Amino acid sequence: MKHISILVPQGALLGSIEGPRQVFSEVNTMVMGQLGRPPMFKVELVALTKDVPVYDGLYTIKADALLKDISKTDLIIIPALQGDVGKAIEQNADFIPWIIRQHSQGSEVASLCIGAFLLASTGLVNGRKVSTHWLAADAFRKAFPEVELVEDRILTDESGIYSSGGAFSYLNLLIYLIEKYAGREIAVVCAKTFQIDIDRKSQSPFMMFKGQKTHEDDTIHRAQEFIEKNVQDKISVDQLASMLALSRRNLERRFKKATANTVVEYIQRVRVEAAKQNLESSRDNVNEVMYKVGYTDSKAFRSTFKRITGLSPVQYRNKYNRLTLSEN
């Protein structure tokens, strides 16, 4: 039987504690009722104190066990945090050495959404890939530059250290773990029971590109502003470098350092974001949208759009256009 320790830190989101508990418990019910097998998981809510306030004290979670009483576990689930993440990490710092010790003894570790910040605080993912909510990507990169953030990914698996993307995408990670521990058949049934879209790989369709603006390089801020205000124009790296009185090499180096994107990547992402907004809110056809965001090559536009969002322009419009059916 796998022992699963769902952590209950202060400032945790209630749903990302109850969700894993419910899903793993359902697997136990499923294998016992349908397959006549003993339960596969022992699921415990583990905390530093017996009663843990969440949602600013609106609710209190009663832990099944205290951290000091768990000498060995098989899987640690770190739920999503809310509010001031830095403060939440300080409040829950006593979890960190325990997670490190358990991992050294063979325990696997999974973070859900913004729980990635607590996971990264352990140092266990330095040099490894991690996902988190795309809204928190800039803050994560700034806090943990030694971690490779893959903000478009629904989940990561780095040799037994797992992470999920934003919000309810943690359900995809849970199904992934159930398939690993219990097999594909159980995972499929569980996905159907909870109506989870199994095998979803990317959170790109849900991302809204804002650009990394928290850096202090004013010259690169000017470059970003110029790109965003001239989305319909053909902008080259050499043009930007000349405008900013920089060499091309210097511009590309500083731009990448400040924004985590190359200049060309940034231009493409700004254009695609503008295209997404148009596809969501207008009746323009794909070619009209393409011209408005500076593309003249239909194949290049569709290829870039799909690479960044995971959907074709038509698929994106059909999925996210805000006009009512009667208006269409």
Distance separating alpha carbons of residues 129 and 137, to the nearest angstrom: 13
Above 90 in pLDDT, residue 274?
yes
pLDDT at 327: 46
pLDDT at 113: 95
List pLDDT tens digits, range 228-261. 999 999 999 999 999 999 999 999 999 999 998 9
pTM for this entry? 0.76
Residue 76 phi, psi dihedral angles, 5° rounding: -105, 125
Neighbours of 262 (CB within 10 A): 13
Above 50 in pLDDT, residue 328?
no
Among the residue ranges 72-86, 183-197, 256-270, 281-295, the one predicted with the least confidence is: 183-197
Please calculate the CA angle 312-206-75 and round it to the nearest 5 degrees: 120
pLDDT tier at 152, thresholds 50, 70, 90:
confident
List pLDDT tens digits, range 314-325. 999 998 887 744
HEC readout, 130-142: ECCCHHHHHHHHH
To the nearest 10°, the Cα dihedral for 9, 194, 202, 3?
40
Among the residue ranges 68-77, 141-150, 199-208, 280-289, the one predicted with the least confidence is: 199-208
Strands 75-78 and 2-7: parallel
Residue 114: both structure tokens together = 């913004």
